[in-house]
Amino acid sequence: MNILIDKNTILVPVSKVVSITEKRSLMPILSNILLEFGREGTTIFSTDLEVSAIAYVDCKVEKERKIVVHGRKFLEVLRELENGEISLSLDDNVLTIKQKKTEIVLSLQDPEEFPETKELKGKEEFIIDGKTLLDMIEKVGFAISTDETRYILTGMYIQGLEGELVVVGTDGFRMALCQRKIKGIKGFKGITIPKRSITEVERIIEEEDEVKISIEEKYIQFGTEKIKIITRIIEGNFPDYENVLPSGNSNTLKIDKESFHRGLKRVSSIIGRSEPVKITFDGTNMEIDAESDIGRAKEILEIEYEGERIGMSFNVRFVFDVVTHIAGEKVIMMAPVTYGAVLFKGEQEEDYKNIVMPIRI
């Protein structure tokens, strides 16, 4: 069986699905991808049993055929070939790739050994544009935990309200919450998606895509016309994010975002990436202090504030992350009278909130 196809027609979808293949697996078959050539088109499958991808290629053949080939090696071969038409010859157990004077032969595996991967027909389905989805992920992804001792926190929580989508990331010391109005969405029970799966969504989905999200009891699927990503859902109860949001923080200040960011950067130059800085605000000034074995640093910034004098210490990386992801020109901080979570948000960004717990020193 011989197939003629433009190199980039197959390179692009292969490059999207190969990262899911397992590099160090007790099941060698998971290092491979399945190509299913058919009369209606060609479909490419990859999986590590937790995350799967299905890509569609505009390549029709008269005789249907399935092959399983090493994903990363196949990708490397395609990348090294010149742009233009290539030939794929399928024999019993080998794939021969030809272009001009180049000929590369790859061994094939038994398609029957490749795990079955199916599209979801979810109980809950809605459509979101790629730009909105990627923006929401970016707004909360940095706060997702990497500590697997609290496994439920190693994923992004997603919940549907009537006409609105909520996503949350937290590691127990900080929380990022983003809400967006989504036309046609209905309320659905919250689920938690593994961070690795979210990373694949960010890598594969394009801003201009229209993404259909389908949810089943244990799986969720992100699908476009050209590719679908299916992932397991993390089992367990995610913390009640609504109860984490502080409601009585009466000490409110407003500060220029760029000034705040630059001040943090200058002061933190003498400390480690996750060490504490002390932030004190009183009247029209905010003071940022840091100290280490190297020395001390202090920055005084102008603010709008009418509350009592307050001083708190924070993990400097947590504050950096918050300030970086807030949109607009002004950052609003809302602090409690006594020790407790501090709320950060943009001046005109009510649909995005960050909570950071101060450090007790």
> What DSSP character marks residue 239?
P
Query: pLDDT confidence of 24, banded at 50, 70, 90?
Result: low
pLDDT band at residue 25 under the 50/70/90 scheme: low
Q: Give mean pLDDT, residues 181-205.
A: 94
Q: Find all residues with CB under 8 Å of 355, minimum gap 6, and list them.
A: 174, 175, 176, 177, 244, 245, 246, 341, 342, 343, 344
pLDDT for 33 beyond 70 = yes
**pLDDT tens, position by position, 203-241:** 999 999 999 999 998 999 999 999 999 999 999 999 999
Per-residue model confidence as pLDDT tens digits over 92-149: 899 999 999 999 999 999 999 999 998 988 778 999 999 999 999 999 999 999 999 9
Percent of the chain clearing pLDDT 70 (strictly above)? 99
Q: Does residue 175 have a pLDDT over 80? A: yes
Please give the Cα distance from 252 to 212 (Å, whole number): 40
The one-character DSSP state at 275 is -
Average pLDDT over residues 298-322: 94
Tens-place pLDDT, residues 235-279? 999 999 999 999 888 899 999 999 999 999 999 999 988 899 999
Task: Return the percentage of the chain with pLDDT > 90, whole number.
Answer: 86
- Is the pLDDT confidence value at 156 over 80? yes
Q: What is the mean pLDDT of residues 8-37?
A: 91
pLDDT at 130: 97
**Average pLDDT estimate for 28-49:** 95
- What is the band of 332 on the pLDDT scale with cuts at 50, 70, 90? very high
pLDDT of residue 272: 87
Q: What is the pLDDT of residue 356?
A: 97
What is the average per-residue pLDDT within 151-159? Answer: 97
Q: What is the CATH code of the structural domain delimited by 2-113?
A: 3.10.150.10
| CATH class of domain segment(s) 245-356 | alpha beta
What are the extents of the domains in the chain? 2-113, 124-243, 245-356
The contacts of residue 178 (CB under 8 Å, 6+ apart) are 135, 136, 139, 140, 166, 167, 168, 351, 352
Place of tokens 């590099």: 23
Name the nearest CA neighbour of 289 among 280, 301, 298: 298
Quick check: pTM over 0.85?
Answer: yes
Decide if 81 contacts 102 (C-beta within 8 A): yes
Task: Name the token pair of 69.
Answer: 């080939």
pLDDT band per the 50, 70, 90 thresholds, residue 80: very high
**Kind plus residue range of the DSSP H or E element containing 203:** helix 195-204
Q: What homologous superfamily is domain 124-243 in, according to CATH?
A: DNA Polymerase III, subunit A, domain 2 (3.10.150.10)
If you average pLDDT over every residue of the chain, what do you get? 94
Q: What is the pLDDT of residue 274?
A: 85
The two domains 124-243 and 245-356 share their CATH topology (first three levels equal) = yes
pLDDT at residue 360, rounded to an integer: 86
Using CB atoms within 10 Å of the CB of residue 39, give its burial: 0 to 12 exposed, 13 to 18 middle, 19+ buried.
exposed
